[in-house]
Structure 1
């Protein structure tokens, strides 16, 4: 089974991804793959510099913080970036999934842009992680050291969370404690006979 894991920024998707990894399910992490592409894919790096200016160059590849300041808050600029980077990310994701699917009963595709980039059509089940909006905002401000205005820009740059929930097969509410959230995930795994609760 291929599980598509997504949610809004700072809703707790990464925490659930880590929990699933601890349960020994392999994770295909779209964000990590994106970072690899921005650091080492020379054709992508060259195209980004040409499109957004040489100022976005970092010590290694592209400086994501500088690039983020340009694209977040501008739908057109974010679209330009995705047109450059997403094909390279997709190729790596597809290759990783093909390799892992041969040896595991559950593979997790952890992808913030699961719907936006069409990955939802590739997976068997979609899990969407949600949290209270005020909690999401404060988590993002704290995690990325952002002002409230900049944090809101990043949240609104993504597909609305309510829209993702409409297309979800399973919704995990991460507004409470870590233990409460993990309990919801574990219940889904047990219900689908993917883990034996006696071993956890």
Structure 2
């Protein structure tokens, strides 16, 4: 069973992904793959340097991710140029990893930009981790040390909360405690696991 998992920055999506992995899901993390495909020495990194310049490399030859983020966030044309390089490479790795899973596996694709990339219809279920924007801003300032302006600009660069909710088959509310979140994830997991084990008689 193919499941999409998404949520805006500061929503706790990564925590939900970790909970699902503990429960038995095969989690494919888009952020992790996005780092892999532009790692030192990869064709992906070479393409990024060709597009944006060598000033985005660290002295060791790695991608300077904070510098890259500062360049593309708030500049839609630059962000789209980066996505045009990275997204096809990530999708290629997705296919490889998914091909190695079994028929009864619940394969969760952890995709921050699921809505933005227009891929929601590819999945049998879409899990949206939902938190009011004001709570997300508070968490980003408190937990990541961002300024309020940084948090607001990152949120504004992503799909609106209403756009994510519109594609959800399951909404996981993460405005409460960690234990409340854990219980909600367990309830959704039971549904997904049961659905994955239903055999089509055809």
**Structure-1-length-normalised TM-score:** 0.90
Secondary structure of 2:127's match? strand
CA distance in 2, matches of 1:80, 1:143: 30
- Cα separation, 1, equivalents of 2:128 and 2:192: 17
RMSD: 1.8
Q: What is the alpha-carbon distance in structure 2 between the residues aligned to residue 191 and residue 43 of structure 1?
A: 40
User: How do 1:7-86 residues align onto structure 2 when only pairs under 5 Å count?
Assistant: 7-40=7-40, 42-58=42-58, 59-86=60-87
Whole-angstrom CA distance in 1 between matches of 2:193 and 2:31: 28
Give the stretch that moved more between structures: 174-183 or 39-48: 39-48
For residue 187 of structure 2, give the secondary structure of its aligned residue in structure 1.
helix
Matches within 5 A, 1:183-194: 183-192=183-192, 194=194
Which runs of structure 2 are paired with 1:170-181 in the superposition (5 Å)? 170-181=170-181
- Contact kept, 8 Å, 1:39 with 1:60, in 2: the verdict is no
1:97 pairs with 2:98: yes
Q: 1:143 to 1:36 in 2, by over 3 A?
A: farther
- Gaps (5+ residues) in structure 2? 196-202
* Counterpart Cα distance in 2 of 1:131 and 1:178: 13
Conserved in 2, the CA contact under 8 Å of 1:4 and 1:108?
yes
Q: Distance in 1 between matches of 2:41 and 2:26?
A: 24
C-alpha displacement at 1:182, in angstroms?
1.6
> Which runs of no fewer than 5 residues in structure 1 stay unpaired?
196-200
Verify the 8 A CA contact 2:13 2:129 in the aligned structure 1.
Answer: yes
**Equivalent residue, structure 1, for 2:158:** 158
Kept after mapping to 1: 8 A contact 2:127/2:168: yes
Inter-partner Cα distance in structure 2 for 1:133 and 1:176: 14
Matched with 1:120 is 120
Query: Does the 8 Å contact 1:106/1:194 carry over to 2?
Result: no
Could you tell me whether the CA contact under 8 Å between 1:3 and 1:106 is conserved in 2?
A: yes
TM-score (norm 2): 0.89
